Structure 1
Amino acid sequence: MATLQIEHLVRRFGQAAPALDGLSLSVAEQEFVFLLGPSGAGKTTTLRLTAGLDQPDSGRILLGGRDMAGIAPRDRNVAMVYDKNSLYPHLNVFENMAYPLRLRRMTDSDIRSRIGRTAEILGIGHLLDRRPGQLSGGQQQRVAIGRALVRDASIYLMDEPISHLDAKLRAHMRVEFKKLQREFAATILYVSHDQLEAMTMGDRIVVIDKGRVQQVGTPRQIFDTPANRFVAEFVGEPAMNTLDCALVQDGGDWRAEAPGVSLHLNAGWVTRHGLQNRRAGGVVLGMRPQHLTLAAPGDAGQPNVETGRVYAVETLGSETVYDVESGGRILRIWSRRAPDGRALPAIGAPISFRVDPGALHLFDSGTGQALAHPDPGPRRAA
């Protein structure tokens, strides 16, 4: 295994904005790092440059401390899995997985041992005699993943390798990937736009957008303390509610105000984040749907209780997501379903909800950078 260091990587395609704009990241030995971002963020470009399939305009890629400039892909000892498999159709599953090992002149006994263990974990041990044309799409992709994992590569590059599998198999593979990584002591850089994969599998997450790193941290850090508005809105399902507002001080009372909304803020929270020294100006208030609490109709008018009308309802088993129209905007509330089986409110019905002032995020409206996060500790859920 080896470390990966990417330094100030730039890659341009024609006259368009650069696909990578000074991107830097690191992957420690035996670490599982996710490169997370929307389509077009530069994720796959980063993998291709690391594998040597494309060349950067500037910047460096170091693998195990060795500069990869001028090093051919076959000499980098990198294994890569794409979102669509690239199996040899004339070879059976065993020989597809054995191919990179035979190139390394491993003994037959070592090849069988390595393939047998990997195939068992991937659930494809019974498919070793079949050819790719006899397999389902999900089975083919598992074979492609297995062909990469049997190699003793310096680093494994994964480009959304389970995105085409069905939901049940993806859930299984999320667990097995982590198990495989630990068993093989593998160093993995995994590209995805699926935050559930990143949050459940990654040791660290690198969030990128438009070829630039937005934040690096553990899954918990990314979710609890997003560095800016982009990360806050991108990471989290349902997505964070954001609201353009102004900070207002009236004596010792601090409020976040927007048309139809006036939220009282904890003075201690304001002071801890130095907001009392902030110049007057716009801010963006962030509220996780999990931290908005349904309130009784009679609570309307109490501090931090807002009202609206039900715009849409999504039932998710034991939980329900409400889209609520309030003050000319749509807010999302993620609530546990009532245990007594009460009927869900109808579309257009009035609804009240409480905002926990201890669970708020605040961002600069101009730069998008984070100004304040919720205080540590358990948060109240609906």
Structure 2
Amino acid sequence: MRSALVIGTGLIGTSSALALAARGVTVHLRDHDPEQARTAAVLGAGTDEEPEGPVDLVIVAVPPAHVAAGLADAMRRGLGRGYLDVASVKGGPRRELEALGLDPAHLSRYIGTHPMSGREKSGPLAATGDLFEGRPWVLTPTRDTDTEVLNLALELVSHCRAVPVVMDADGHDRAVALVSHMPHLVSNLVAARLEHAEEAAVRLCGQGIRDVTRIAASDPGMWIDILSANPGPVADLLSEVATDLDETVRALRALQSSDEAKRREGVHGIQDVLRRGNAGQVRVPGKHGSAPRAYETVAVLISDQPGQLARIFADAGMAGVNIEDVRIEHATGQQAGLVQLMVEQKAAPVLSAALRERGWTIRQ
């Protein structure tokens, strides 16, 4: 790949352009808002000047509702040798594109893709050239997809240092409904409970509520586009969640009963939902996509001062312990917090002893 045209210079389009430009590909940028394309160009993502002839790859990075029209326009104008989109749904845009009556030769030059990466922020200023590094990038070729186009898509994934995953388009849409779209709505439903909550209650927010509501900070307009393109699978999943919620509410009400038999039913119901949650959580892939592993947590009290995290990591390194993961829980009303260091179980006592020896306070 020597040249590319990125249509849509939001977070995903600009991030892919930054990655391609950094690897020597000549990238042209286009957006319905010329100012946004100029911003991406200033960031080093390419040039907002039109290409003089067909490029090797056209990347359509627009909302799902506009993907088919954007692709059809680019194909009819002969803007590239290959075409792909990066929308978060795949089945609908493909069917819409087929319904536009394009020549089969055009359709063979297209492949639907979806990089499984993003941020709560949007726009070119939120873009980074390493956004996709180590993340899955789904490719949905059909039996009619031209081999050259598939290879161009694989080259794009390689330049972005992502991990290619081949899936059926409708299977992809069901999968992202489960692991992305439905959880996003559930996160928003939980966060909505905080909107009118008493300030005294909100001040008690800890890491748990922050984890659950983090993705609720995303742009609502963007998510309306996403959910409008994949409503069926998301609605099916939310219906199942609603059934579970109804059963959980009944179990909690039973725990309030003075009838011992009803209380036992309530306990059984709550135990069941917690057990099922445990069983589902352990299926979430672990580090580097490998099978999940159980780590021991070493909690260290730190002050909110420059260099504290660097000191902890340096001291852990001197102790010969690899930090597998890390979380920070900030104390309410104090300039302090807990750093939770996840390590191999056998390394936990070694790390705790080493950090205590170096003056750190360990919380059990």
Q: TM-score, normalised by structure 2?
A: 0.28
Between the two structures, name the one with larger relative contact order (CA 8 Å, sep ≥ 6): 1
Hey, which of these two has a bigger chunk of strand by percent? 1
Hey, which of these two has a bigger chunk of helix by percent? 2
Q: TM-score, normalised by structure 1?
A: 0.27
